[in-house]
Amino acid sequence: MQEKTIQWFPGHMAKAKRLIIEKRKLIDLFIVLLDGRAPLASQNPELADIINNKPVLYILTKTDLADPQVTKQWVAKFRNEKKNVLALDVKSPTKSTIKVLVNKVKRQLSEKIAKEKNRGIIKPRLRILIMGIPNVGKSTLINALAGQKVAVVANRPGVTKNQQWIKTAHAIDIIDSPGILWPKFKDQNTAKILAWINTIKQTILPLEVVATSALLFLNKHYNNKLINAYNMNDLVIDPNNAETINECWVVIAKRYNKIHKDISVIEKFSQERLLHDLRNQKFGKLSFEIPIN
């Protein structure tokens, strides 16, 4: 059966994309935040059209939640592709973290800085635009660069609605922009991953689809963590056998002492619980995509 194309492009996202393109000539550098657990799924395929050959610095965020070995592989892949990249924990950025980022920006824009100084501008100001999909850490990073709370932070998608210029003490002016998704997810697997990391609203895909795909991913790539989390020592999950998957929901419910005569209630509880546990690090550090050379 052909997978259904998933559409989610709220009006404020369409407006943000239009405003970015209108302001593009003012931007010296685009900083593109990617979720370090899923750098491909969290990368807007329309990015090239939006930035139009402007300099780009990619930042892998939420690396504190990602599998560290896989993160190293992603950084190596980006660098092999001649892309400027940093892996940063923007959830709790330190002064040294911000210093690394600022120095990276200034090195990347060293030619512009030199030209401005030759024109007599002693301390040139750089204009950067920070963009990325919803809930990837833009507001947290902007607040850290600004040294104060100037952007709203929340662990849910769609909080930032408008664009605003923000001055910092680093001779850098930032334009904040709402998280921008693309109009359609032609690949349902991308939508599933974005649902796992809480980037798209949970109503976009059925709960059973999101939870079952997460269960099978954990079973394949982090089996020991899944078994230990729910004491599944005697359970073998066969992705082609619905009975073993249904049995897994029962085991998870028992792990949380959830008892109910209606199996649909049990399944719904366990599916919600699995996604909650996945998003709250019950399984430890996970990466949902592995780079392919």
**Which pLDDT score is estimated for 134?**
79
Same-domain check for residues 27 and 170? yes
| Three-point CA angle 75, 87, 135, nearest 5° | 120
**Which pLDDT score is estimated for 151?**
59
The answer to whether 191 and 185 have CB atoms below 8 angstroms apart is yes
Domain hosting 273: range is 206-279
**Which pLDDT score is estimated for 19?**
76
Backbone dihedral angles phi then psi of residue 189, each to the nearest 5 degrees: -65, -35
Task: Please report whether residue 292 resides in a domain.
Answer: no
Mean pLDDT, 10 residues at a time, over the chain (293 residues)? Answer: 51 70 88 95 85 93 93 96 91 84 94 93 90 84 83 45 74 78 73 88 85 96 94 87 94 92 95 95 95 79
117's CB contacts (< 8 A; 6+ apart) are 124
Domain count, the chain: 2
Same-domain check for residues 110 and 42? yes
Same-domain check for residues 151 and 271? no
**Which pLDDT score is estimated for 270?**
97
- The CATH number assigned to the domain holding 106 equals 3.40.50.300
**Which pLDDT score is estimated for 48?**
83
Same-domain check for residues 80 and 157? yes
**Which pLDDT score is estimated for 191?**
87
